[in-house]
Amino acid sequence: MKSKTVKVMPSFYKKMEQLEVEIEDALKSKLMRISSEAVNFSPVDTGSYVTSFSISTGAGRPRGRSSDNKPKGQNEQSMKDLGYDQLVSDINKLDLLNTTSFTFRNGSPHAEAVEHGKNASDGTGKTWAKSNMSGGYKVFAKIRNLHG
């Protein structure tokens, strides 16, 4: 029986570690771009929709806020900053190298209405969309078009 010994040099492991860092950085950068675009495409009235985005890797309760009894006309940039900061926090909690899939969602009760327009409701029959968005904001459709 013949055998052959192969020696793996320490430099190989260093290169593999560097490659893992680069992959993790690229994935994190992509998730940050998606997050930034999602909040920038989002409308802001009460801030409930834009602060209801979440990124997760499995089961769990999605972030979701209702606009019921919330003051309208919130500061748009402040609400978008809050929504983005929450997504960054979600991303920073992920084990990017050991995860095979992510779920990006908006758990607000009126997410469908914001996405699709005035004919959408939250399931209670209440129509959430404003008349100026009869076709919806298509936030998720835009993200899909940009990132697949």
Residue 16 lies in a domain: no
Kindly report the pTM of this predicted structure.
Answer: 0.81
Whether 100 is in a domain gets the answer yes
Is residue 72 in a domain?
yes
Q: How far apart are CA 44 and CA 22, in angstroms?
A: 35
Asked whether residue 86 is domain-assigned, the answer is: yes
Total domains in the chain come to 1
Residue 55 lies in a domain: yes
Greater pLDDT, 116 or 139:
139
Contact 56, 103 (CB under 8 A): yes
Would 18 be classed as within a structural domain?
Answer: no
- The residue type found at 37 is E
Model pLDDT for residues 108-133, shown as the tens digit of each residue? 998 998 998 865 545 545 554 454 45
Q: How far apart are CA 63 and CA 107, in angstroms?
A: 5
Q: How far apart are CA 109 and CA 48, in angstroms?
A: 9
> Is residue 19 in some structural domain?
no
pLDDT tens, position by position, 46-98: 999 999 999 988 766 777 777 777 889 999 999 999 999 999 999 999 999 88
Residue 33 CA from chain centroid, whole number: 9
Extract the tokens encoding 115: 């996405």
The pair of three-digit structure tokens given for residue 1, joined into one six-digit string: 């029986």
Range of the domain at 63: 34-147
For the segment 7-22, the average pLDDT, to the nearest whole number, is 93
**C-alpha radius of gyration, the chain, whole number:** 21
Task: Point out the least confidently predicted range of 16-25, 99-108, 127-136.
Answer: 127-136
Is residue 29 in some structural domain?
Answer: no
pLDDT at 132: 47
